[in-house]
Chains A and B, each alone.
Chain A
Amino acid sequence: MNIGLFLAAAVIAGTPLLFATLGGILNEKVGHLNLGVEGMMLMGAIIGFMLGFKTDNAFIALAGAMAAGALGALIYAVLTISFHANQVVTGLALTIFGTGFSSFLGQSMVGQIVSNKLKASFAPVRVPLLADIPVIGEAVFNQSSFVYLGYVSAIILFIYFAYTQWGLNARMVGENPAAADAAGIAVNLYKYTHIVIGGAFCGLGGAFLPLVYVPAWQDGITAGRGWIAVALIIFIGWNPMKAILGGVLFGGLDILGLRLQGAGVHINQYFVDMVPYIVTILVLVIGGFHKGSKASPPKALGNAYFREER
């Protein structure tokens, strides 16, 4: 098995996870546990695929995917922020809704393949110099521009949360909304914008699958990647930079079974499918022993915030 080729495949498999993880981080940083990642990915996937299929325009496809994911997130945001609905239940409902939404719209699309013109829009672009780095160069820097968008988003989000005033305000909302409110931060505005933009990221992650990865439509195309993303957020400790590595790692685990079989190693496919989840559980268990480390979840994660409470 060629390490370089495997790594390149892992980067591609990890890209939808990367986008979904970034989307989830945006939700959780402002204190909202959104289990609707899978649903928002599917909504983005079907809308992105349909628009791409109809128009052959990559830009329209991606914009549509983002809008669809954002719409799903907006439903979640209205229910959990303005109506104080339970975040877990709302998130699960969003996943169920997104699954049905994509199945319904995608009924007549099943098996349809992306046109060559659109495929060409997502063809690998070689980054000069960087792609010449041994072993990882080709894998990381000879990829579709869609993949690069993932790296760039992760870096921008990292800088945003670590060094900007708005990022600091957003983190304060997720840590202690009452304190943020007292400090003059518009708590609900921050929550809405971050959750909706997070939804757009999830939509992009979903759209990557039928547009680049497969590239064709199949029902339930995300196949649980949204759930892996939810676990991945914890694994990488809410750090957008680490999301790049986490995506590649879990993407690699995702394709490991197929590659091993291709290399003539006989291992039970079902066992291989379990590996990402087992790794997640192990990480959570190990993480449980290191309390008080920097990578702890936002304090107010999962709690609704009411101002006029006596």
Chain B
Amino acid sequence: MNQTVAVELKGITKTFGTVVANEKVNLTVQKGEIHALLGENGAGKSTLVNMLSGLYSPDGGYIYIRGKRVQLTSPKQAIEYGIGMVHQHFKLVESFTAKENIIAGKRDTWFTTHKHIEDKILSLCEKYDLKVELSKRVEDMSVGEKQMLEIIKVLYQGADILILDEPTAVLTPQEVERLFNIIRKMKEQDCAVILITHKLHEVMAICDKVSVLRRGENVATVKIAETTPTQLVELMVGRPTDLAIQNYKVAFGEPIYKVNNLTVKDKENVSVLDQVSFVMNTGEILGVAGVAGSGQKELCEALCGTSKISSGELIFKEQHLEGKSPREIYNRGIHIGFVPEDRLGMGLVGNMGIVDNLLLKEYYIQQGLLVNRKGLKDKANNLIHTLEVKTPGIDHPVKQLSGGNIQKVLIGRELALSPDVLVTSYPVRGLDIGAAYQIYDLLNKEKQKGVSILFVGEDLDVLMQISDRILVLCDGKVTGLVNAREITKEALGLMMAGHVQEEGGDYSGNKSYKNA
């Protein structure tokens, strides 16, 4: 057996009920290799690595670790074989300290107070250039710190085969760069790294090889040096796809919605939005960038009137909307569409069909005591037709649709009321490339019609392409309002981390931001 092979999967098959998640997947990862797993949602990436980490057991096929055939029936066993997984949703205990999280599950001492435990962690950190405050509680940590802690935890358990599941989704560009340096250090130490990601430029930047999964099958394994992003997308989607997001230049619009010194406080009276000011124009997409939890949710809800604001002004064409409920705003003839990040929580009722979900926004306009579904059925059919929603029927519970189709129903409902302003929060989160591009097209069409769109996003590449201007939030404060065409990703990253834009704010959108 070849001694340099870390992991070899042969003919791995896994089914959930009638759904085939993985079909005869072969995969080989060498020691000291960074191997990317690419694929759309539902392509079976997570299922595959979950079998490697012992969470699922395969229905067919064999797993070889360092040339030895193994059966992994629990994460404990996987850890014993040196497999460590950094999950996309961190597996950390919020109320524990960093140290407690790191050593949980280990059993080399009886007591957790031994001095040598801390020494061991610190020497590990030095080896891989990691940083951690051992006595800090996880609940007080930033996302970047939590991820670093996850990596230390896995390394402390003795892993030399590391699986990272979408590790960069929630990081700023600077944090991503730091993570990549750590991954390169691991490679130097002869670890095998399996990296799951959606972001092609990251694959190209750091990986040695890439395997593409489509509908549960491994369609190709190629060396990075011998491939291009375009080819990878084609492999993922199964057909040639244009990667550029269309951006239509619309004759510059009128200011329509002014936000002045908006401040929102949470229950503990901490400002989650602090003196935020900006203007939304017609026919424009205003992107909002920021690390998750920087006040995006509060901003969207304040704009739509669904949550209370503490101070500041919200002015829609000379009308003050502060303290008005969504109903009052609607009754004034102002239509603000809202696509919240929590689609099935705040956006739609999962157990209802399309018709009833449409009804939620219209029943109070109707006359009479009983609701009338007649006209709505036509509207629902129309929505399905124009947005190409795939559903067994208009009364089929929306929660059973795929993420992309749920999002189309939600956006379709908001657009049915022909909004003046459309607030969208992470509208493509969790959607695969095909569905995401359909949503981008939809938003661009609305923009051309003159709708003013707020687009809260996480992928800076997308934000920079689809937006006209980008508002950057950090800890509830505006740290930049910039022209999306002229800004660099690094500059955005610095703003997201709290470095305030150096030049005066470009609040009208007419002046362009120069990167000093």
Q: Does A172 reach chain B (CB closer than 8 Å)?
A: yes
Q: Which residues of A contact B56 (CB under 8 A)?
A: 308
In the complex formed, the residue of B with least CB distance to A184 is: B76
Instruction: Take A172-B104, A308-B55 as given contacts and tell me if A183 and B75 are in contact as well, using a CB distance cutoff of 8 Å.
Output: yes
Q: Which residues of A contact B93 (CB under 8 A)?
A: 171-172, 175-176, 179, 299
User: Which residues of B from 54 to 97 have beta carbons under 8 Å from A?
Assistant: 55-56, 74-76, 78-80, 85, 87, 91-96
A-binding segment of B108-116, B277-285, B352-360: B108-116
Cα of A163 to Cα of B100 in the assembled complex, Å: 10
Instruction: Take A165-B107, A184-B79 as given contacts and tell me if A179 and B91 are in contact as well, using a CB distance cutoff of 8 Å.
Output: yes
User: Which residues of B from 249 to 295 have beta carbons under 8 Å from A?
Assistant: none
State whether A186 touches B76 (Cβ < 8 A): yes
Task: Count how many chain A residues have C-beta atoms less than 8 Å from C-beta atoms of the other chain.
Answer: 23
Q: Does A255 reach chain B (CB closer than 8 Å)?
A: no
User: Which residues of B from 103 to 125 have beta carbons under 8 Å from A?
Assistant: 103-107, 109-113
State whether B95 touches A183 (Cβ < 8 A): no
State whether B95 touches A299 (Cβ < 8 A): yes
Q: Which residues of A contact B53 (CB under 8 A)?
A: 182
Cα of A131 to Cα of B275 in the assembled complex, Å: 65
Q: Which residues of B contact A92 (CB under 8 A)?
A: none
Q: Which residues of A contact B100 (CB under 8 A)?
A: 168, 172
State whether A184 touches B103 (Cβ < 8 A): no
State whether A172 touches B96 (Cβ < 8 A): yes
State whether A180 touches B95 (Cβ < 8 A): no
Cα of A300 to Cα of B85 in the assembled complex, Å: 22
Taking the closest CB of chain B, its distance from the CB of A181, in whole angstroms, is: 6
Taking the closest CB of chain A, its distance from the CB of B430, in whole angstroms, is: 14
In the complex formed, the residue of B with least CB distance to A294 is: B95
State whether B75 touches A163 (Cβ < 8 A): no
Q: Which residues of B contact A180 (CB under 8 A)?
A: 104-105
1/0 contact string of B461-500 vs chain A (CB within 8 Å): 0000000000000000000000000000000000000000
User: Which residues of A from 55 to 103 have beta carbons under 8 Å from B?
Assistant: none
1/0 contact string of A291-310 vs chain B (CB within 8 Å): 00000100100000001101
Q: Which residues of B contact A185 (CB under 8 A)?
A: 76, 104-105
Taking the closest CB of chain A, its distance from the CB of B268, in whole angstroms, is: 9
In the complex formed, the residue of A with least CB distance to B94 is: A299
Cα of A179 to Cα of B96 in the assembled complex, Å: 12
Q: Does B45 reach chain A (CB closer than 8 Å)?
A: no
1/0 contact string of B313-352 vs chain A (CB within 8 Å): 0000000000000000000000000000000000000000
Taking the closest CB of chain A, its distance from the CB of B78, in whole angstroms, is: 8
Q: Count how many pairs of residues, one from A and one from B, have CB atoms less than 8 Å apart in the complex.
A: 79
Taking the closest CB of chain B, its distance from the CB of A73, in whole angstroms, is: 24
State whether B112 touches A184 (Cβ < 8 A): no
Q: Which residues of A contact B111 (CB under 8 A)?
A: 163-165
Q: Does A169 reach chain B (CB closer than 8 Å)?
A: yes
Q: Which residues of A contact B76 (CB under 8 A)?
A: 184-186
Cα of A4 to Cα of B251 in the assembled complex, Å: 89
Q: Which residues of B contact A164 (CB under 8 A)?
A: 110-112
Taking the closest CB of chain A, its distance from the CB of B96, in whole angstroms, is: 7
**Most-contacted residue by chain B among A165, A172, A296, A310 (CB, 10 A):** A165
Q: Which residues of B contact A183 (CB under 8 A)?
A: 75, 79, 91, 104-105, 153, 157
Cα of A110 to Cα of B468 in the assembled complex, Å: 85
Q: Does A178 reach chain B (CB closer than 8 Å)?
A: yes
State whether A163 touches B105 (Cβ < 8 A): no
Instruction: Take A163-B112, A168-B112, A310-B16 as given contacts and tell me if A184 and B94 are in contact as well, using a CB distance cutoff of 8 Å.
Output: no
Cα of A25 to Cα of B322 in the assembled complex, Å: 49
Q: Which residues of B contact A296 (CB under 8 A)?
A: 95
State whether A179 touches B55 (Cβ < 8 A): no
Cα of A176 to Cα of B89 in the assembled complex, Å: 12
Q: Which residues of A contact B107 (CB under 8 A)?
A: 165
Q: Which residues of B contact A308 (CB under 8 A)?
A: 55-56
In the complex formed, the residue of A with least CB distance to B139 is: A292
Taking the closest CB of chain B, its distance from the CB of A96, in whole angstroms, is: 34
B75, B109, B110: the one within 8 Å of A184 (CB)? B75
Q: Which residues of A contact B74 (CB under 8 A)?
A: 181, 184, 186
Cα of A171 to Cα of B79 in the assembled complex, Å: 20
Cα of A99 to Cα of B496 in the assembled complex, Å: 61
**Most-contacted residue by chain A among B78, B93, B109, B112 (CB, 10 A):** B93
State whether B157 touches A184 (Cβ < 8 A): yes
Q: Which residues of B contact A175 (CB under 8 A)?
A: 93-96
Q: Which residues of A contact B75 (CB under 8 A)?
A: 181-184
Taking the closest CB of chain B, its distance from the CB of A130, in whole angstroms, is: 27
**Most-contacted residue by chain A among B55, B105, B112 (CB, 10 A):** B105
Q: Which residues of B contact A182 (CB under 8 A)?
A: 53, 55, 75, 85, 87, 91
1/0 contact string of A160-198 vs chain B (CB within 8 Å): 000111001101100110111111111000000000000
In the complex formed, the residue of A with least CB distance to B87 is: A182
Taking the closest CB of chain B, its distance from the CB of A29, in whole angstroms, is: 13
In the complex formed, the residue of B with least CB distance to A181 is: B75
State whether A165 touches B92 (Cβ < 8 A): no
Q: Which residues of B contact A176 (CB under 8 A)?
A: 91-94
Cα of A154 to Cα of B94 in the assembled complex, Å: 26
Cα of A127 to Cα of B79 in the assembled complex, Å: 49
Taking the closest CB of chain B, its distance from the CB of A91, in whole angstroms, is: 24
Q: Which residues of B contact A186 (CB under 8 A)?
A: 74, 76
Q: Which residues of A contact B157 (CB under 8 A)?
A: 183-184
Taking the closest CB of chain A, its distance from the CB of B406, in whole angstroms, is: 17
Taking the closest CB of chain A, its distance from the CB of B86, in whole angstroms, is: 10
Q: Which residues of A contact B55 (CB under 8 A)?
A: 181-182, 307-308
Cα of A242 to Cα of B93 in the assembled complex, Å: 24
In the complex formed, the residue of A with least CB distance to B106 is: A165
User: Which residues of A from 206 to 264 have beta carbons under 8 Å from B?
Assistant: none
Cα of A194 to Cα of B53 in the assembled complex, Å: 27
Q: What are 9 A-B pairs at a CB distance below 8 A? A: A175-B96, A176-B91, A176-B92, A180-B105, A182-B55, A184-B105, A185-B76, A296-B95, A299-B94
Known: A172-B93, A179-B92. 16 other contacts (CB 8 A): A165-B103, A165-B106, A165-B107, A169-B105, A175-B95, A176-B93, A176-B94, A180-B105, A182-B53, A182-B55, A183-B91, A184-B79, A185-B105, A299-B93, A299-B95, A310-B16
Closest 7 A/B residue pairs (Cβ): A183-B105, A179-B91, A184-B76, A182-B91, A175-B93, A184-B79, A184-B105
Residue positions of B touching A, CB distance < 8 A? 16, 53, 55-56, 74-76, 78-80, 85, 87, 91-96, 100-101, 103-107, 109-113, 153, 157
Residue positions of A touching B, CB distance < 8 A? 163-165, 168-169, 171-172, 175-176, 178-186, 296, 299, 307-308, 310
